[in-house]
Amino acid sequence: MKKSVLFFVLIIFSTVLFAQAKEEQAVAQVVEKLRQAMVDADQKTMESLVSDKLSYGHSPGFVEDKKVFIQNIMNNKSDFVTMDLTNQTISISDNVAIVRHKLDAKTNNDGVAGEAHLLVLMVWQKIGGQWKLLARQAVKQPVAP
C-alpha cells in the first residue's frame, strides 16, 4: 500500500514539474519572439505579444504604454540594431510569469549610434491561453569598480 501511495505521489509530482517546465519554455519563446520583433520593428508581432495594459519602464525613468512603446520602435526613436539577452530566469505563479535577464544591445535611437547594458524585469500574464507582456522595467547595469 505504501509503495502505491509513493508511486502515485511521484507521478503527480512529475506531472506538475513537466507542466511547469512546459510553461517556462512557452514564456521563453514569447520573450524571444518579442526580442526579435523589436530588432526587426515588426509591428504586427509586437502588438500580438503585448497587453493593452502595458507599462513599459525605461532605465532613465520614463514609462510608455503599448501605443507609445510600439510607435517609438516603428519611428526609430527606440531602434535596436542588435539585442542579446543572457542570464535569463523565469518564475511562474498561476497565470503570471516573472522574467529577469541581462540585455546588451547596439542601438541607433533617432539616428544616433549607442549601446544599452541593462538588467530587465518583465511581467507576463497568460490571457486567453496566450502569454502577453504586461509590464517591463529596466535599470542600468552597475559598473564594476
Where are the domains positioned within the chain?
2-140
Strand partners of residue 132: 125
Nearest Cα to 133, choosing from 141, 142, 123?
123
Contact by Cβ (8 Å): 69, 56: yes
pLDDT at 2: 60
> Class for domain 2-140, per CATH?
alpha beta
- Helix (H, G, I), strand (E, B), or coil: what is residue 61? coil
Contact by Cβ (8 Å): 55, 66: no
Q: Over the stretch 13-25, which tens digit does the pLDDT of each residue have? A: 445 444 568 899 9
Dist CA 74 CA 62 (whole Å): 18
Q: Which residue has the cell 520614463?
A: 62
pLDDT tens digits in sequence order for the chain, 145 residues long: 566 655 555 455 445 444 568 899 999 999 999 999 999 999 999 999 999 999 999 999 999 999 999 999 999 999 999 999 999 999 999 999 999 999 999 999 999 999 999 999 999 999 999 999 999 999 998 876 6
